Amino acid sequence: MASREERKRAAREARIETERRDAAAAQRRRRLTQLGGIVLGAAAIVAILIAVSSGGGSKPQTSSAQSASTLLTGIPQKGLTLGNAKAPVTIVEFNDMQCPICRDYQSAVFPELVQRYVRTGKVRMEMRLQSFIGPDSVTAGRAVAGAAKQNLAWTFAEAFYANQGQENSGYVTPDFVKSIATATPGLNHSKLVTDASSPAAAQTLTEGKSAFAARSLTGTPSFLIGRTGGQLSVLNWSALKASQFTGPINSLLAE
Amino acid sequence: MTERRLSRAALLLAAIGIGIAGYLVYVHYTDTKVLCSISHGCETVQKSKYAKLAGVPVALLGLIGYVAILVSLFVRTETGRLASAAMALVGLGFSGWLTYLEAARIHAWCQWCVGSAIVMTLLTIVLVWRLLLAAPVHSDKAPVADVAPG
């Protein structure tokens, strides 16, 4: 039989163990309460961030598109080619009409190249249409191919980029194409619609895709550059700065 | 897994997150072509309307978030652990939203953004685990058996 001292010690140990267990349970409850609190707080903050993120930035689609500028006025266009056919240097651009970087190139670099080299007959440009971003790319690409039949592909493309919408949002509707055609001086919309739905327009996209694959290119915009009639090389650009293009052009012109 | 190891893991993950977000901030402000093995994806995501939140580049917000988490790892109190976990949970939630946008609205994938989302997910797991694992403290000023992250 246990002595009184032993019973007291056992009771004390049992009490300490119970207190320890109670303290641990209270600690767990406290931690979980804290975790629940910060999860709720975080969820509230994320909800606000999502609301802000969803609400801003969408470009409103208007029935009247921003018109093409006068940048290309007076410069010869033939099919998907811009500039003097006898220009000593050729630049081939691989572009997707939905591509936002192509639009940025169009606004940040293209005007300077046109003014300095295309308008002066030193450079001619060709377009190789891509359509890998989504269905809107196909519709837009075929519309450009249709405009090429009226030798206004580059003017149409300029107006398109000026009104470019959110990728794959379904914005390239017949009404949108009509608004771009209307914003392109000299373009016949009815003929554009007919030409854009022709097998020839589809063939233009197929050829653009083949040329893209043949060069193992990985994104748009991509460019080839070289002496007209000669071998063209890939122009490796890292920033949308005119200097990245004028250097290679000047080198070729100096040959 | 000890709290010390969790803190070190969190430190490493936050540093990786800072590297990823810092690179995307650099690309944004220098207008440099982003290194991306997925054709066109990174630039599409970076140039989409969702790349900014109230005019502030999302990459910059991510960088600020990772730096804040990193700093909080050195605050060796219960408040510090709570703050770390809370910031990581916000980051996780917003990363999830951005990943949804890539899949459902932008239809393009940016490997850097996906990488950041994975890092933020791991960081959240580690920091929540660290919070639950922390030894009992009776005062915010006198943590018991706390350790520095490094």
User: What pLDDT, in 10s, does the model give residues A76-115?
Assistant: 999 999 999 999 999 999 999 999 889 989 988 999 999 9
Q: What is the pLDDT of residues A29-67, one digit of tens each?
A: 888 888 899 999 999 999 999 988 876 444 434 445 666
Q: Do B39 and A41 touch (CB under 8 A)?
A: no
Q: Smallest CA–CA separation between A206 and chain B, in Å?
A: 18
What residue type is A227 in one-letter code?
A: R
Residues of chain B contacting A53 with CB distance shorter than 8 Å: 50, 53, 97, 101
Please state, in angstroms and rounded to a whole number, the distance separating the CA atoms of residues A35 and A78: 67
Nearest to B97 among A50, A96, A220 (CB): A50
| Lookup: tokens for A2 | 């246990």
What pLDDT, on a 0 to 100 scale, did the predictor assign at position B133? 82
Q: What is the total residue count of chain B?
A: 150
| Lookup: tokens for A68 | 């093409």
Residue B25 — pLDDT band, cuts 50, 70, 90?
very high
| Lookup: tokens for A74 | 């007076």
**Cα torsion through A165, A169, A175, A178, rounded to 10:** 40
Residues of chain A contacting B131 with CB distance shorter than 8 Å: 31, 34-35
What pLDDT, on a 0 to 100 scale, did the predictor assign at position B52? 85
The SS3 assignment for B74 reads coil
What architecture does CATH give domain A77-254?
Answer: 3-Layer(aba) Sandwich (3.40)
Long-range contacts of A72-76 (CB under 8 A, 24+ apart): A72/A114, A72/A154, A72/A155, A72/A158, A74/A119, A75/A114, A75/A118, A75/A119
Q: Do B54 and A35 touch (CB under 8 A)?
A: no
Q: Which residue is it, tokens 């990823």? A: B20
The SS3 assignment for A184 reads coil
Please state, in angstroms and rounded to a whole number, the distance separating the CA atoms of residues B75 and B79: 8
A234 interfacial to chain B (CB closer than 8 Å) = no
Q: Do B107 and A57 touch (CB under 8 A)?
A: no
Please state, in angstroms and rounded to a whole number, the distance separating the CA atoms of residues B125 and B32: 33
Check residue B145 and give left, alpha or beta (phi > 0: left; psi -120 to 50: alpha).
left
| 3-class secondary structure per residue, A216-237 | CCCCCCEEEEEECCCCCEECCC
CA-angle at A106, arms to A156 and A174, nearest 5°: 35
| Lookup: tokens for A144 | 């450009």
Domains and CATH numbers, chain B: 3-133 (1.20.1440.130)
Determine contact, residues A77/A152, Cβ cutoff 8 Å.
yes
DSSP state of A202: H
Q: Smallest CA–CA separation between A119 and chain B, in Å?
A: 27
Q: Do B31 and A239 touch (CB under 8 A)?
A: yes
- Residue of A35, A99, A131 for testing the chain B interface, max B β-carbons within 10 Å: A35
A230 interfacial to chain B (CB closer than 8 Å) = no
Residue A3 — pLDDT band, cuts 50, 70, 90?
confident
Of B37-46, B71-80, B125-134, least confident by mean pLDDT is B37-46
Q: Which residue is it, tokens 């997707």? A: A96
Q: Do B93 and A100 touch (CB under 8 A)?
A: no
Please state, in angstroms and rounded to a whole number, the distance separating the CA atoms of residues B73 and B149: 6
Please state, in angstroms and rounded to a whole number, the distance separating the CA atoms of residues A117 and A72: 12
What pLDDT, on a 0 to 100 scale, did the predictor assign at position A36? 92
Q: What is the pLDDT of residues A226-240, one digit of tens each?
A: 999 999 999 988 888
DSSP character string of B1-44:
--HHHHHHHHHHHHHHHHHHHHHHHHHHHHTBPPP-SSTTHHHH
| Lookup: tokens for B69 | 């988490």
Please state, in angstroms and rounded to a whole number, the distance separating the CA atoms of residues A38 and B91: 13
Q: Is the dihedral of CA A189, A190, A193, A197 positive or negative?
A: negative
Q: Do B33 and A132 touch (CB under 8 A)?
A: no
What pLDDT, on a 0 to 100 scale, did the predictor assign at position A65? 66
Nearest to B131 among A35, A45, A59 (CB): A35
Residues of chain A contacting B97 with CB distance shorter than 8 Å: 46, 49-50, 53
Beta strands in chain A (DSSP E): 77-78, 81-82, 89-96, 123-130, 222-227, 233-234
Count of CB contacts below 8 A, A vs B? 98
Residue B144 — pLDDT band, cuts 50, 70, 90?
very low
Phi, psi of B35 (to 5 degrees): -70, 120
